[in-house]
Structure 1
């Protein structure tokens, strides 16, 4: 028979220990790579001195994980694995060791410490001597204007209103209103334009990434003209001639714009409903080392232009999503457990939701979950960044879900991180149906997850950075027009906790 690989391919993970804070027992979870093809199973051995080993369990063929539930805190254990069949055993993997730390903190306390660290490290952005916040972004007129242009952010509505008078976006030199912030990395932002009135059809508003505030600087923009046409417009380099490409023809329902910046390229697209997008225009833009991103309004002629813009999705915390008509309607829901077994709080300083949960989590037929949810109608999209997750076992999960109701056996679509740090989807297609799961790759720290509903079809998506998105399958559910969508956390059999940032909901 083929031997196992020479070494375990993943470090030992301490997964369930934190939930057992008042006992001396913890658990150690092992993974290995199955390179054998004719095994009947795998035997797992443990030692307290690294010399004398004792078999503590076996798993069937093709299973590549095992949890030792009887580790003792404060001690070091040594593990090795070998395959077996009717003819004997393979050689051992290399030995791997794990020291089980003293368990004196709950998962919630661990997340509290993480939240405090994030809060301390997330000082308000200082730019040109000004402390920035979501309601105090710098606003300027790029180029010149004959009047004092205006900008106002309405926090209660999540709407940005701009007034501008100028020559607009010119071939080599611009004159327009720009509300912006500096960025250091790639970004993706989606905006809706509820209102736009221009002095001429050439007036434009939208979202822009720009190399500087100089009127001839390089930029990439997804914009909407006053007559309802959506365009990609860009100046590849400073003082170049700007270029234009149509994204969608004039239409009264064209309202949605998206910009994605990745290195020296921008992807620009538009939509009439926020879900079905035009093909993206990929354009080269020399943005330099200190680019700016923001919303803009460019007039054209002698009449003021007015625009109202709403940010729907953003990787930039200071350009916070408005939550659209979901705004201020989120509520705590305990699915299949007592309300005392779950909690959800929003840290106003960081914008992070802290969730805790006790129970069995996602079950085949009857869930026991924490679900911080919003109620909506029809199509929707929700996007979140997972900042931290402390699961009490491999079956603990956190992420996003959409439910037909708040009953524990209702139809559900969820995209989550599981206890191994892998993406996992969970789908219950109808009332009382068995839940099905699909596990994928291990995701990096700080990853993004997204759920999108159109009709009865839900798509599962993930991204390492909120910019480069990967679809991880779709599901068809028996859904009413009204749904519940939000942040979710399921435990294994103790207590789990997570920190989640909501970066889009519409």
Structure 2
């Protein structure tokens, strides 16, 4: 088969085949600037459907039109098998961890340091993993940063990212930070060989993102970022890795029947394995920089058992926030709060897009607050786990808080308006028609805090939400 090469920046082309024109499987990868492929595995007399798409370090093009062909003779086919179709110099060794999966292709472009990895198998498991892993042996401390550009599969629960691991044994100790096909970051770790692993999911606002693994002594830090410059720590654990150990790109497929694939671009790598340190290209991730979103500072009020994190996506203006309980308390709050310092009167409006709760008493919303002290005066307008608007306020520091609820019945829009000492808490289901819930008088100082708040319920389970800021006047 042949196709027109209409791009000038591809790393290569994917060739896919189907027997019914609906369910396609990738059968080959070509180099850049190639426009033909011969299917050496096609069976004589069978009817097949084919399609092609280009790929580079940023993702995939659209598919070509689908063509249908009946194979008459296959003995003369000269197509190359998948594993031999590209011959880049490789820094990493591709391997399968566990015995029930299938190792797919592994292609890397040394100019951009983009890695295309594919595998099948159940993925991360409680005691024995089944993973695709492109790795190198390293020793000592390191920081590695990567961008997960795209994740493709016919099944859900795929994950791709970075992993440090003691060995290729399925029950080896490890720490991994990944992005899954539903746009959520997932940290997975096993402190000791043979132990049950632990996972922590963090809500995100997009299907591509940046991940980082750092090792300093026995301390492993897993971080994520939606833009490559503002980083949030998901997990910091003490895991003892004895050198040499393994570091690289991991693919957790979620199924033994289908290959999953992802593009992972290494942006910075200070590990002492083969190859030079890679630095960010084309203005992408700024390795080593850690800060909060523009205009908002992520903070924790009180001793959260699960601190979660806060992420901001400038492109979409979406704020992802997560935390465990216990949340609002009568006298001493325990909350995740992303805030800015403001003064004077204002009107602040947001929309809640996603609320992944763990109990009826979880809340996400907006809050004006005098300080980060647990007993501070505050007023908040929330959407709770019972599907209600809920206002919570404490008129003065040290007082018991008060609360009131109102039915929602639609998409939650939240607003707080300050008029002198009067704080109006408002809710809407369309962002246009507003209902006043309460208007308490709050003792605020000249400069105070305003932002997005999340209140969990259970101390050992994360609550997650995505909130969009609509206006601040």
TM-score, normalised relative to structure 2 = 0.39
TM-score of the superposed pair, with normalisation by structure 1: 0.37
* Structure with the higher helix share, 1 or 2: 1
